[in-house]
Structure 1
Amino acid sequence: MDFKSKLSLLGLATTLAAANVSAEQIDLTMYYPVAVGGSLTKIVDGMVDDFEEANPGVNVKAIYAGNYNDTRVKALAALNAGESVQTSVMFSIDMLALKNSGVIRPFDDFVKTKEDQQWLDSFYPALMANGQVDGKTYGIPFQRSTIVMYYNKDAFRDAGLNPDQPPKTWDEMADVASKLVKKSADGNTDRWGLMIPSTGYPYWMFGALAKQQGETLMNSAGTKVNFNSKGMVEALQYWRDLGSKYKVMPEGTIEWGTLRQEFLEQNTAMMWHSTGNLAAVMQNASFDVGVAQLPAHIEPGSPTGGGNFYLINSGTDAEQQAAYNLVKFMTSPERSAQWSITTGYVGVSQASYDTAEMKEHVKNQPQALVARDQLKVATAELATYESGRVRRVLDDAIQATLTGQSTAKEALDSAQSQAERVLRRANRDSL
């Protein structure tokens, strides 16, 4: 029996054990983001097909809505238009806003059996930091990631560096990157030592630098931020210094969406990026690829990232129960292993790494364990009330600093005061 057949039978058994789903035809709508690239839609379609095969009374309509922000906007627009949307993968950091607006309901409402509770308790704690609040679970990790450092082992060898010893501290990273810069005869840079993207999700990269400074961007309740402490200013200054002082990466902003290709074309020897790019990088690189945890300063670490499954407060009881069963199916150990193997995203539970298929995969591709192992030193991604507005002021501060329009302190002082105004208003409105 092949892997897919075993998974289908597992899904069937899981579904038969889940009570209260009507034999009548149930139609589900699921919104889904494609934020990193690759053939993710085909993978998700295949998983949905397997669920439908194991659940003949359920039809799932998957709507691919672009990036995470697009997905949230389109799913909420459909709800406002009176359409039924039962589940969606959206930013893990959207949880507070979604809960506060009554859009989502807790998974705890559907936990009726010991098996349900075991499933709910199975996920890595670091991934649940952006999924739980007030003692309840509103987000189930699925398309989850940490930031990792990809590096070109061949470039390391050419520069006389040990390809099995990537930099482990900020000082080492700046030093190693300087040795990896390659200049042409006319003085132009043919290859940079390092690139850290500063468009798309600059706050996410800054969250890594903050963690490495021993700082957190916000409190656990999402009501206060910490943008302009001494450690934060030093972190942003270091990011700018990599371009302006150490000259190991381009000055100004670096595009999130094109950085993977820059790395594959060997325009940079190292890059910070989502582990969600792992499969595409490994499949397309013409050189020996290394993957490492991010370097430490005061301490190591990275924020988690990516998307959670949410149960939308919409549709009939039978539809919502079926949506819950769909989420359980998609996040089962075998499915999580399949998803991680084919994309590079982190398997969301230890059970997914205990599957035979995952054990075989990591034996052949040990790079796949880096992001999982980094979960031990991971922190929650920036999540607050009015999260979009708060992230925007921090993104603007980061980019203003990197482009030389402002000092790190001035930019972060401004971001702190703007974010405090936004959060004061949000806290007042929620009373």
Structure 2
Amino acid sequence: MKKNKVLVMLTSVVVMLAVLIGGCGGNKQAAGPQGGPTELTFYYPISVGGPLTKVIDQMAADFSKENPDIKVTPVYTGSYAETRTKIQTALRGNKPPEMAIMFSTDLFSLLDMDAIVDIDSFIKTDSDKAYLADFYPGFMTNSQTGGKTWGIPFQRSTIILYYNKDAFKEAGLDPEKPPATWDEMVGAAKALTKEGRWGLEIPSTGYAYWMLQTFVLQQNGNTNLMNSAGNEVYFNSPAAVQGLKYWLDLSQKHKVMPANTIEWATVPTDFLEGKTAMMYHTTGNLTNVKKNAKFNLGTAMLPAKDHRGTPTGGGNFYIFKNTSPEKQQAAWKFIKWMTEPERVAQWSIETGYVATRKQAYETETMKKYVKEFPDALVARDQLEFAAAELSTHENGRVTKIMEDCVQTILTARKTIDQAVNDAQKEAEEVLKPFKK
């Protein structure tokens, strides 16, 4: 009898615990209005100056406030390269975030992993089609392949020329006439170079391949460093050789730029401190430079050889496959919210990144801003001459090959011909499995 009572009591306790545990577990697992908000994790990188984590965090908080049925948790994941590594690790562990901003050039690698959802599957109405068509074509070249759209442009950029107008005036140059050609850039850089100040700095670590693309794309022939299928590269093309020669001559022959390699993060600091009078850098740094410059700032399209040219750059939104359809729809709602014209305009103003939608430039917010600060239009206008950033299968490996190639040339460890031929051979080996 005593045993039966004990068994009954134990059974009651177990049932109560099961109810409690089940209830708690249900609250954690449920998604949507009935069981709490749908929870989304959002990875994002930053590779420019300024307190951009606060901007992203606030935008996510504002979205969740407007949409209480969806809770977005933004996670800053370091640089683009660090973000790629963390995403790949999460995918291998079968625990990716619901969405992320990653390099637009990560597209082929993500497709090879069967990791992302095609955006076209969310495009249902004429309004959706108009939304997609409103993004600048230059940014869609790294967002579409195989007849489908895979990413939504967000923190996108081109490379622009920044220059110190006060230094121009001091050197006897017209501060309203930045160099428009390669020859003019050499001439201006020579006039600007003096003890304690270089005429020009172009970063050669981190994104050396990106800087090289500027020189390649500005030559006749409309060549790029890769094909649109992402399975061929042209690292030893005549345009690449000519571009590398010009780049090397800036330091070795003309003595207007530091020898050897120059760090990506050091260049804006040197510019703001007056250690260089001109620099090549992403427009994503524009707001940071504008806020911190103690001199009259000038910006311009990149100087041309035969014509103007620049690669696009920056990151796209991606939605990951390994999550529920409900969460995918919630992620899509967040992405559309983040890329509404007014919000895109505000993001551009806060950062310097190009507003990726045409309608953003029709907002009163942007009209007022560009009237006060016309430099904000330089990168947007340069999109007319823009081409796709280097993007291939195994993109991390392939871009590193070109990074190493540029650096061995600038540090005189190899001749240009030797370096580009070695890089071409190495990249072809990496891409061989993707050739049909």
Q: Does 1:295 align with 2:307?
A: no
Counterpart contact for 2:94–2:322, Cα < 8 Å: no
CA RMSD between the two structures: 1.2
Question: 1:64 is matched with which residue?
Answer: 76
Where does 1:127-206 land on structure 2 (aligned, <5 Å)? Answer: 127-183=139-195, 190-206=196-212
Q: What is the identity, as a one-letter code, of the residue corresponding to 1:90?
A: M
Task: Kindly indicate whether the alpha-carbon contact (under 8 Å) linking 1:386 and 1:426 is maintained by their aligned counterparts in 2.
Answer: no
Q: What's the counterpart of residue 33 of structure 2?
A: 23
Deviation at 1:22, TM superposition (A): 4.8
Scaled by the length of structure 2, what TM-score is found? 0.90
Larger Rg: 2
Q: Does 1:115 align with 2:110?
A: no
TM-score for both structures, normalised by structure 1: 0.91
User: Equivalent residue for 2:364?
Assistant: 356
CA shift digits 1:148-183 (9 cap, x unpaired) = 000000000001100000000000000110000012
Asked if 1 retains the 8 angstrom alpha-carbon contact of 2:200 and 2:257, the reply is yes
- Work out whether residues 191 and 266 of structure 1, in 8 Å CA contact, stay in contact via their aligned partners in 2: yes
Cα separation, 2, equivalents of 1:32 and 1:279: 19
The residue type paired with residue 394 of structure 2 is E
> Which residue in the other structure is 1:224 paired with?
232
Alpha-carbon deviation of 1:35?
1.2
Q: Deviations over 1:245-280 (max 9, x none)?
A: 000001110110111110000000000000011001
AA paired with 2:217?
K
Question: Among 284, 297, 307, which residue is 2:292 paired with?
Answer: 284
Give the Cα–Cα distance (whole angstroms) in 2 for the partners of residues 245 and 394 of structure 1: 23
* Cα contact 1:27–1:59 (8 A) shared by 2: yes
CA shift at 1:76, angstroms? Answer: 2.7
Offset, 1:99: 1.2
Greater Cα offset, 402-411 or 190-199 = 402-411
Q: Counterparts in 2 of 1:31-430, with a 5 A limit?
A: 31-183=43-195, 190-214=196-220, 215-427=223-435
Q: Give how far 1:425 is off.
A: 2.9
Unaligned runs of 5+ in 2: 1-30
> Mean alpha-carbon deviation: is it higher for 198-207 or for 109-118?
109-118
Contact 1:139 1:308 (C-alpha < 8 Å) held by counterparts: yes
Alignment coverage as a number of residue pairs: 402
- State the alpha-carbon separation in 2 of the partners of residues 87 and 259 from structure 1: 32
Deviation track 1:355-412 (CA, whole Å, cap 9, x = no partner) reads 0000000011111000000000001000011111111111111111111111111111
Contact kept in structure 1, 2:123 and 2:129, CA below 8 Å: yes
How far is 1:349 from its partner? 1.1
Contact 2:41 2:72 (8 Å CA) reproduced: yes
Query: Structure 1 vs Structure 2: percent identity of aligned residues?
Result: 50
Q: Matches of 1:294 and 1:92 in 2, distance apart? A: 22
**Residue 405 of structure 1 aligns to which amino acid in structure 2?**
R
Q: Retained in 1: the 8 A contact 2:161–2:299? A: yes
What is the one-letter code of the residue matched to 2:215?
Answer: L
